[in-house]
Amino acid sequence: MIDKTYQPSQVEGRIYQAWEKAGAFRAGRPERAGAKPYSIVIPPPNVTGSLHMGHALNSTLQDILARFERMRGRDVLWQPGTDHAGIATQMVVERQLMERQQPGRRKMGRAEFLKRVWAWKEESGGTIINQLKRLGASCDWSRERFTMDEGLSRAVLKVFVDLYREGLIYKDKRLVNWDPKLLTAISDLEVVQVETRGHLWHLRYPLEGKTFDPADPSTFIVVATTRPETMLGDTAVAVHPDDERYKKLVGQNVILPLVGRKIPIIADDYSDPEKGSGAVKITPAHDFNDFEVGKRHNLPQVNVLTVEAKITFADEAFAGQGGADFAETKKLEGTDRFAARKQIVARLEEKSLIDKIEPHGHVVPHGDRSNVVIEPFLTDQWYVNARELAKPAIAAVRDGKTTFIPKNWETTYFNWMENIQPWCISRQLWWGHQIPAWYGPDGKVFVALTETEAQAAAEKHYGKATPLTRDEDVLDTWFSSALWPFSTLGWPDRTPELSRFYPTSALVTGFDIIFFWVARMMMMGLYFMKEVPFQDVYIHRLVRDASGAKMSKSKGNVVDPLGVIDQYGADALRFTLARNVAPGHDIRLGPPDVENNRNFATKLWNAARFAEMNEAASVAGFDPKAAKETLNRWIAHETAKAAREITEAIESYKFSEAAGAAYRFVWNIYCDWYLELAKPVLLGADGAAKTETRAMMCWARDEILKILHPFMPFITEELWGVTAKRDALLAVSQWPKLEGLADDKADAEIGWVIDLVTAIRSVRAEMNINANIPLVLAGGSAASKTAERWAEFIKRLARVSEISSATSAPQGSVQLVVRGEVAALPLKGVIDLAAERARLDKEMAKADADIKRVDAKLSNEKFVANAKEEIVEEEKEKREEAAARKAKIAEALERLKGV
RNA sequence: GGGCGCGUAGCUCAGCGGAAGAGCACCUCCUUGACAUGGAGGGGGUCACAGGUUCGAUCCCUGUCGCGCCCACCA
């Protein structure tokens, strides 16, 4: 017995357990040994995170693909796992320590802190996995991996060591994006540019050998800056070589105010005469462009900031610096950069060294995690030669070995890859993969898989056993994620899984991590596996709230997928996401959408109940091709059509088309027409027809459960189980392969019935007729024969009292033209003749318009000459149809006159 | 500055060379024995604007106006 209502919360858990118990999601099931493999790796969520709508969308789409291909018989691996998320996780644990007023990480030390992080990972690591299960994700959980588990860590070390040995990883001292709050370097991608309204300070730098006079511009040069505090580290002033204003100053020196250092005026193309004053201060240690200028001109790099972005004078450039001015300046030691900015500006102002201050809008780099202003900072870091690794990654996409869907993301990919910069991979954090590099007493570096190997190398190098210290830094989280498609399959070991499931079939991910993740997987996959990591990359966008706003904790508009699942069921959420996903667009998610799809689930449930109440049950071995009843042949035809449509849509990643087609088929074809038309049969006396209809009803229902299963796995599995004794779970049953069911005759006949019923209903509603009314088929004997066959159906669905035929429509009746036949409703006295005439006039006008439009085309010689033959043929048919229709309407109007 | 995309029914969006579509909302009717989380019917759009290509343009091209997003840029 099917329950009266479907209650997702009471079903979903049980169903998921059944899948797991049956091992339905396991890759490499023996019976599929000969099957083609299909694999997807999940974008690993943060291990200590929880499921948000983005995950829900991402996972739903992957699950649709995984379940679809599984049902199509492929050996499916949906590889799950989680990411250690270096900075994010470390920040969470540090915040916890603070909240609990426990000692900070530095105080407790690395080992103890890491113990805490692992404890937190153990505690919360299962959350998101369970949440993915609640969504219905059919991952092979037996293969779950974690980026810091033993195997993956081994892969990370090997990749680092191999790339180092090939010269593709190297250590370099250059400017990095330094986060003064998190006290670590970060990569370019982790920097966000924030529009800021600031100021442009124009500073006067006195020329050497002249007495500074604020009233005499020949005694100084003006430089403009947005960061006055960096002036302490200036080592030159640059002007454009062609700038006539400054040409004669090149080669002279200025005396750096507040410091007293003598610095040269140099000529460099970098200086833009249009910007600021045309002369620019050069601070190689604190600006990326200046760093390059400094290298070209061999300028010293004077650092004036500590790692915490406080002023420091530790740089040797300040060592010999004397003078009262500098003595005063030295008091800034330890002052925060922004406080120092104010003080420096005030002092310059006192000395008339500020030329002017302009308001200035510009973008300022911020750390994406810390949200503080990033400082370009001169440090030793590890880099990956991304330019080199990008080459094959670019070629692979160009050659179509990997395809993006939608295709235009490839442009974005190329743009970035072709301008890729060295990837800074070292982080001054503790949570992550510690870099396998050891240093000798003289700073000599030994990179090796293990400390023992490093020791051995050191001994060889120094000629004796030498103590080494390990590099303290860890690797960027994305370094390990970049290996995900092969590290999860057991690499560097040559596992059977690796050869079977790599390259993976599809990757489904958000556009926001194309650079962070997709590009880097391409680089690493191609380098280490010599093959692309995935064939297709399906890129989706954001899930927004109902009003189109980005969901964010601070705005408080975050819709929790678990809450939606609790309220409406996982299927409703999944179906909503699938129906609304459109390539190139964000999704708006509002409660009405989810409700609508919950209603759809209810509809499906009740359709199944209907069959059960009519004693219909699946018939083993039932062959839809053998059906005799037109109605049944029709629904078989429609089912095959829908299945084909849905199959093709999923194959081409058109999720919303697939879901939409399923929705329309189930609701508007199967429920609205087939079940309604079946009612008279089920209540009738024809035993054979009844038997066949019952069987067909359940056959079609079973096909429906299959085609809906990738989208709505829970309710379909539940109905599958509850409607019949089955050999296997729906999740591992066979996807419909329906051939030989097309039936144009049945299609035409049922189409006529549907049109007739619809036309009658329309008239009834328009004319407000509640009572059952008679129907007269006029003219065509074919029509009356068809009507005779379908009399009961028409009577029931259109609420017709009796059906008769006549040579022409009775006087004063409403006359409908249905596919060229006239159907009359003798309603003399009931209807308003004027209204009926008006209705017919309107129809007539439409027919005339149709004819006119087609005639315009057909009488156009160029159209007939240029248009495709079948188009011209179509137009001619339209012409005929419209003309015939017009004639019938004209007759109808004529008959009306006689009343 | 470079790139990508979007402007179609009140709202959210499909369609993207041959007669304008869906869901929601709205209006009317219906407690008919699967379902009121339902059924039936209906109103509503010069497909942003201006040119062009074409026998034919919502769909292709160019421009304009709006609106997003990504990358680069701390003078």
Q: Is the CB of A761 under 7 A from strand B?
A: yes
Q: Is the CB of A599 under 7 A from strand B?
A: yes
| CA dist., res. A447 & res. A161, Å (int) | 6
CA A588 to C1' B38, whole Å: 27
Contact A741, A625 (CB under 8 A): yes
Strands A145-146 and A81-82: parallel
Alpha helices in A482-569 (DSSP H): 484-487, 496-501, 519-529, 561-568
Edge-to-edge strand list for the sheet holding A262-267: A253-255, A262-267, A236-239, A279-282
| CA dist., res. A549 & res. A555, Å (int) | 9
Q: Is the CB of A542 under 7 A from strand B?
A: no
pTM: 0.94
Q: Is the CB of A610 under 7 A from strand B?
A: yes
Q: Which A residues 836-895 have CB within 7 Å of strand B?
A: 850, 853-854, 857, 860, 862-863, 866-868, 871, 874, 878, 881-882
Least Cα distance to A11 among A809, A717, A625 occurs for A717
Identify the pLDDT of residue A498: 95
Closest C1' nucleotide to A667's CA: B35
Encoded tokens for A695: 């069987």
CA A871 to C1' B39, whole Å: 39
Helix (H, G, I), strand (E, B) or coil at A83: strand
pLDDT of A898 higher than 70 = no
Q: Is the CB of A176 under 7 A from strand B?
A: no
Identify the pLDDT of residue A822: 86
**Cross-strand bridge partners of residue A804:** A776
| CA dist., res. A523 & res. A186, Å (int) | 20
Contact A291, A266 (CB under 8 A): no
- What number of other Cβ atoms are within 10 A of residue A745's Cβ? 11
Q: Which A residues 219-238 have CB within 7 Å of strand B?
A: 224-227
- What number of other Cβ atoms are within 10 A of residue A629's Cβ? 18
For the segment A423-442, what is each residue's pLDDT rounded down to a tens digit?
999 999 999 999 999 999 99
| CA dist., res. A664 & res. A136, Å (int) | 23
Burial of A298 (0-12, 13-18, 19+ CB in 10 A): exposed
Q: Which A residues 330-389 have CB within 7 Å of strand B?
A: 360, 362-365, 373-376
Identify the pLDDT of residue A593: 85
pLDDT of A719 higher than 80 = yes
Encoded tokens for A891: 């007759």
CA A849 to C1' B51, whole Å: 29
For the segment A364-423, what is each residue's pLDDT rounded down to a tens digit?
999 988 889 999 999 999 999 999 999 999 999 999 999 998 888 888 899 899 989 999
Encoded tokens for A861: 């010689």
Predicted confidence band of residue A239 (pLDDT cuts 50, 70, 90) = very high
Predicted confidence band of residue A811 (pLDDT cuts 50, 70, 90) = confident
Q: Is the CB of A609 under 7 A from strand B?
A: yes
Cα separation values, A519 from A525, A792, A817, Å: 10, 64, 61
Q: No. of H helices and E strands in chain A?
A: 30, 29
Q: Side-chain half-sphere of A197: how many Cα atoms within 13 Å?
A: 1
Gap between the terminal Cα atoms of chain A: 57
Contact A543, A576 (CB under 8 A): no
Least Cα distance to A563 among A126, A53, A55 occurs for A53
CA A841 to C1' B43, whole Å: 19
**CB-based contacts of A53: which residues, under 8 Å, 6+ apart?**
A543, A551, A558, A559, A561, A589
Question: Average pLDDT, whole number, for chain A?
Answer: 91
Strands (E), A228-340: 236-239, 253-255, 262-267, 279-282
CA A199 to C1' B74, whole Å: 10
pLDDT of A875 higher than 70 = yes
Residue with tokens 């400390």: A451
Q: Which A residues 783-822 have CB within 7 Å of strand B?
A: none
Helix (H, G, I), strand (E, B) or coil at A213: coil
Burial of A193 (0-12, 13-18, 19+ CB in 10 A): exposed
CA A597 to C1' B26, whole Å: 21
Q: Is the CB of A676 under 7 A from strand B?
A: yes
For the segment A71-122, what is each residue's pLDDT rounded down to a tens digit?
999 999 999 999 999 888 999 898 998 899 888 888 899 999 999 999 999 9
Contact A263, A256 (CB under 8 A): yes
Predicted confidence band of residue A519 (pLDDT cuts 50, 70, 90) = very high
Closest C1' nucleotide to A866's CA: B55
Identify the pLDDT of residue A555: 80
Encoded tokens for A549: 């706003």
| CA dist., res. A717 & res. A570, Å (int) | 13
Contact A720, A726 (CB under 8 A): yes
Helix (H, G, I), strand (E, B) or coil at A171: strand
- Strand B nucleotides in reach of protein CB atoms, 7 A cut-off: 2-6, 12-15, 18-19, 22-25, 28-30, 33-35, 37-42, 54-56, 70-75
Edge-to-edge strand list for the sheet holding A469-470: A445-447, A437-439, A469-470
* Sign of the C-alpha dihedral computed for residues A618, A621, A624 and A629 taken in this order: negative
Least Cα distance to A7 among A628, A714, A711, A494 occurs for A714
CA A349 to C1' B72, whole Å: 34
Query: Once rounded to an integer, what is the mean pLDDT over residues A811-833?
Result: 83
Residue with tokens 């250690």: A84
CA A409 to C1' B50, whole Å: 31
Query: Once rounded to an integer, what is the mean pLDDT over residues A203-219?
Result: 91
**CB-based contacts of A745: which residues, under 8 Å, 6+ apart?**
A630
CA A867 to C1' B61, whole Å: 21
Closest C1' nucleotide to A580's CA: B13
CA A349 to C1' B38, whole Å: 78
Closest C1' nucleotide to A799's CA: B32
> Please, what's the largest Cα pairwise distance for chain A?
121
pLDDT > 90: what percent of chain A?
A: 64
Cis status, amide bond into A422, omega within 30 of 0: no
For the segment A143-162, what is each residue's pLDDT rounded down to a tens digit?
999 999 999 999 999 999 99
Alpha helices in A136-219 (DSSP H): 150-165
List phi, psi (to 5°) of A127: -55, -55
Write the single-letter amino acid at A237: V
CA A130 to C1' B18, whole Å: 52
pLDDT of A806 higher than 70 = yes
Nearest protein residue to B3's C1' (by CA)? A412
Helix (H) or strand (E) holding A62: helix A53-71
Helix (H, G, I), strand (E, B) or coil at A395: helix
Cα separation values, A461 from A446, A452, A456, Å: 10, 14, 9
Query: Once rounded to an integer, what is the mean pLDDT over residues A469-477?
Result: 95
pLDDT of A897 higher than 80 = no
Least Cα distance to A377 among A170, A174, A87, A188 occurs for A174
CA A460 to C1' B48, whole Å: 74
Q: Is the CB of A279 under 7 A from strand B?
A: yes
A576-579 contacts at long range (C-beta below 8 A, 24 or more positions apart): A577/A56, A577/A57, A577/A60, A577/A61, A577/A543, A578/A60, A578/A61, A578/A64, A578/A655, A578/A656, A578/A658, A578/A659, A578/A711, A579/A655, A579/A656, A579/A659, A579/A660, A579/A663
| CA dist., res. A284 & res. A174, Å (int) | 10
Contact A131, A82 (CB under 8 A): no
Q: Is the CB of A657 under 7 A from strand B?
A: yes
Residue with tokens 């200028």: A293
Closest C1' nucleotide to A611's CA: B34
Helix (H, G, I), strand (E, B) or coil at A258: coil
Report the alpha-carbon angle A361-A362-A367, nearest 5. Answer: 135
Cα separation values, A856 from A814, A847, A863, A867, A869, Å: 32, 14, 10, 14, 17
Q: Is the CB of A515 under 7 A from strand B?
A: yes
Q: Which A residues 492-511 have CB within 7 Å of strand B?
A: none
Q: Is the CB of A582 under 7 A from strand B?
A: yes
Identify the pLDDT of residue A781: 67
For the segment A563-592, what is each residue's pLDDT rounded down to a tens digit?
999 999 999 999 999 998 887 788 888 888
- What number of other Cβ atoms are within 10 A of residue A167's Cβ? 9
Cis status, amide bond into A214, omega within 30 of 0: no
Q: Is the CB of A170 under 7 A from strand B?
A: no
